[in-house]
């Protein structure tokens, strides 16, 4: 597809998102409600037996945990792709995937810009609540890091978006072989929630955490948060960013291969 087609797809998807902007804004705001429960949950954990400001668990103080959770929330806002895999599976199952095969529109390209539009609208709506939450929790956050760390954080978020998109897209493309992938998606979500660092930092997993870091899941939540918390030395940081970029290339190639093979075996009949 040409860049003009990409631009038209992006504008169209943005227009679609603003059709039900009230419902979208309300759903976005409700996603901030779990923050309150998480802050109180970790307060209760750290307060057990001693002052929560003094207790250290696996190298994290209470303030560290609150800061980590808030930063991981930003990471998940970039990398989460709700409905992407199930949407691909549904289109394969009901035959509407034919529109990508009969028109000069690349399936992965269209889905990519559709997600970009979704995220752009989400950030416009969520920037206010994010700013409010971080201002209220400013006492738990570390000071501003240097410019290179901030740059690495931004790059990790962008690469995390690509890793999250490609992982979900690949799971959806498996539906060319298995029309019902809901069970597989449920397993993936559980693994993702645990191994990405969304539930607890990967530091808490001990030796298991060292093995988990060979997988791409850490880049969906843990890695960007750990950058801002100073968990990486400069040399380690840029090495990890290189590995994350490599995962993007590998997952992109895997998606392209799976799509090409899936289209070859796909068959649909009727109008």
What b/e sequence results for 147-185 when a residue is b if at least 16 CB atoms lie within 10 Å of its CB, and e otherwise?
Answer: eebeebbebbbebbbbbbbbbbbbbbbbbbeeeebeeeb
Give mean pLDDT, residues 39-67.
Answer: 75
Residue 25, SS3 per DSSP: helix
For the chain, the domain total comes to 1
pLDDT tens-digit profile of 136-164? 888 888 878 888 888 999 999 999 999 99
CB of 85 within 8 A of CB of 169? yes
pLDDT at 4 over 60: yes
User: How confident is residue 107, by pLDDT bands cut at 50, 70 and 90?
Assistant: confident
Q: What pTM, to 2 d.p., does this model score?
A: 0.86
pLDDT at 104 over 80: no
> What residue numbers bound the domain in which 73 lies?
3-264
The neighbour count for residue 230, using CB atoms within 10 Å, is 11
pLDDT tens-digit profile of 251-261? 999 999 999 88
Q: Which residues contact 115 (CB under 8 A, 6 or more apart)?
A: 81, 84, 161, 165
38 in a structural domain: yes
110 in a structural domain: yes
Please list the residues that pair with 60 across neighbouring strands: 57
155 in a structural domain: yes
270 in a structural domain: no
271 in a structural domain: no
Taking each helix axis from N to C end, the angle separating 84-94 and 107-136, rounded to the nearest 10 degrees, works out to 150
269 in a structural domain: no
- Reading phi first (left if > 0) and then psi (alpha if -120 to 50, else beta), residue 103 is in beta
103 in a structural domain: yes
237 in a structural domain: yes
């Amino acid at each position: 597809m040409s860049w003009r087609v990409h631009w038209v797809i992006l504008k169209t998807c943005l227009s679609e998102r603003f059709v039900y902007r009230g419902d979208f804004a309300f759903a976005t705001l409700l996603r901030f409600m779990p923050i309150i429960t998480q802050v109180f949950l970790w307060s209760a954990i750290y307060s057990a037996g001693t002052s929560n400001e003094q207790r250290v668990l696996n190298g994290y103080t209470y303030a560290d945990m609150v800061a980590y959770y808030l930063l991981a929330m930003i990471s998940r806002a970039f990398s989460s792709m709700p409905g992407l895999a199930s949407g691909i599976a549904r289109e394969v199952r009901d035959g509407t995937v034919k529109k990508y095969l009969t028109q000069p529109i690349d399936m992965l390209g269209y889905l990519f810009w559709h997600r970009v539009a979704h995220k752009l609208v989400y950030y416009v709506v969520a920037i206010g609540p994010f700013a409010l939450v971080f201002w209220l929790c400013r006492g738990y956050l570390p000071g501003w890091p240097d410019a290179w760390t901030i740059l690495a954080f931004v790059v990790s978020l962008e690469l995390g978006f690509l890793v999250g998109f490609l992982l979900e897209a690949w799971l959806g493309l498996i539906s060319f072989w298995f029309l019902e992938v809901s069970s597989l998606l449920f397993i993936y979500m559980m693994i993702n929630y645990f191994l990405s660092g969304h539930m607890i930092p990967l530091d808490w997993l001990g030796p298991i955490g060292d093995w988990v870091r060979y997988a791409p899941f850490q880049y969906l939540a843990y890695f960007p948060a750990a950058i801002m918390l100073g968990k990486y030395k400069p040399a380690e940081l840029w090495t990890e960013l290189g590995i994350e970029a490599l995962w993007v290339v590998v997952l992109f190639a895997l998606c392209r291969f799976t799509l090409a093979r899936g289209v070859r075996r796909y068959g649909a009949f009727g109008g």
